[in-house]
Structure 1
Amino acid sequence: MSLYKDQTLKEAVLNLPQKEKDKLLIRLINKDKMLVKQLHYELLEDELDLEDRITDLKNRLDRHFELAQASIKNLPMYSNYKQLHAYLRQASGLVNEHEKITKDKFSVVECRLIILEDAFDLFPRLFEPSALAPALKLQKYVQGRIKNAMTSFDKLHEDLQFDLQDQMTRVIDFAHDHSL
């Protein structure tokens, strides 16, 4: 039940003594790990911490793709399509978490483009036309990721777009060449 649907409960909570409200707030915050991370970032971190977070995210993505390269072969086989799809989803999850915490649009677009570029550079044969169901599923997923990156890119200020233009062009060219 939502607090907004039950006005009497809402009023009762608002009328609690400040000490009781603080205790309840702390208990509720501890139940949501993402909220704890968001609050930590908003209340305790600054621009230098954001730069550290971005660097850390890029390093995690690099390690993620090193693992992918070690376990996935660039051969159009059923298992390789499925594995790459899983790795791309995990990498996107890292960026999604970063986005929820920091709300930094530039680094999000940059990291989404890094994911696509790495996938295209390391596994180009997995994006060639194929009739296998996992290949089609991978291609559909990547099409969605490209669309998402383009939409976010278009919302950036033109100076920021200029900084990412080369990456975006490489991604779009690869997608066009491989009919994605």
Structure 2
Amino acid sequence: MPRKTLSDELKKAIAHLPSREKDKYLFRLIAKDSILTEQLEYQLLEEGSTKEQRRSQLQNEIENEINGIPKAHRRIRALISAVRGQSALISRHLRVTGDKYGEIELNLTLVLSTLKMVARHYTMGNPRDQIKLYEYIIQRLFKLGNLADKIHEDYRMDFSETLQETGRTIGSNELLMHTCIMRGLDVNELIAGDFPRPAF
């Protein structure tokens, strides 16, 4: 259903409401939008000072969520679901805080934690499901390359070790390496500590 725009007449009528009446409507609308509520908490109550703390907490949550999948549920599809859930939390963190550096760091944490989990428990899983996960990870790495182009080069260097570890972890997985080749991701760029760029 398309969002209805306010007419000029309604805007004027709202503008002339008593302050108490306007506040009542405002609070009611804010309460219906959880992200807006969190944005206001971050900006007004925390005064934007908790960005690093929020980032660190989410980083720990990502690692715990991916590593904590119960043994009985260790199927690739369960891992894919967990990855998508954490990806949504990263997007929410960005919308609330505007933390572009954190968007890269948190996504790299998600990618590397997932690859390590695959190496430990999922290499014998359904190949189709594995490839589905690998293609998602490859898309995520290409997206991170685009995001990294928008931050200062000095900040990009902060991610070098994680990128190298990601590249080495990919290199130890034959099916993942094949999928990278087919999708144009040069793992050597990761091993060199750089963000990958599409080969075609």
Shift of 1:127: 7.0
1:12 match: 13
Structure 2 partner of 1:89? 84
Q: RMSD of the alignment, in Å?
A: 2.6
Q: Which runs of 5+ in 2 are unaligned?
A: 181-200
2:112 alignment partner in structure 1: 117
TM-score by length of 2: 0.74
1:28-177 to structure 2, matched below 5 A, reads 28-46=29-47, 48-68=49-69, 70-71=71-72, 73=74, 80-124=75-119, 126=122, 132=128, 134-172=129-167, 174=169
Equivalent residues of 1:85, 1:138 under 8 A apart: yes
Tell me the SS of whatever aligns to 1:123: helix
Larger RCO of the pair (alpha carbons < 8 Å, separation 6+): 1
Return the TM-score normalized by structure 1: 0.81
Q: 1:29–1:35: 8 Å Cα contact kept in structure 2?
A: yes
Aligned residues: 172
Instruction: Give the Å deviation of 1:148.
Output: 2.0
Q: State the identity as a percent.
A: 27
Distance 1:15 1:85 in 2: 51
AA at the equivalent of 1:12: A
Whether contact under 8 Å (2:112, 2:166) holds in the other structure is yes
Structure that is richer in helix per residue: 1
**Any conservation in 2 of the 1:95–1:108 contact (CA below 8 Å)?**
yes
Output one character per residue of 1:136-163: Cα deviation in whole Å (capped at 9) or x when no partner: 3222222221122222122111111111
Seen in structure 2, the aligned counterparts of structure 1 residues 44 and 9 have a Cα distance that, compared at 3 Å, is: same
Residues 109-166 of structure 1: per-residue CA shift (max 9 Å, x gap): 10100111111122138579x752x233222222221122222122111111111122
d(CA) in 1 for partners of 2:122, 2:149: 28
Distance 1:46 1:165, change over 3 A: farther
**Which segments of 5 or more consecutive residues in structure 1 lack a partner in the other structure?**
74-79
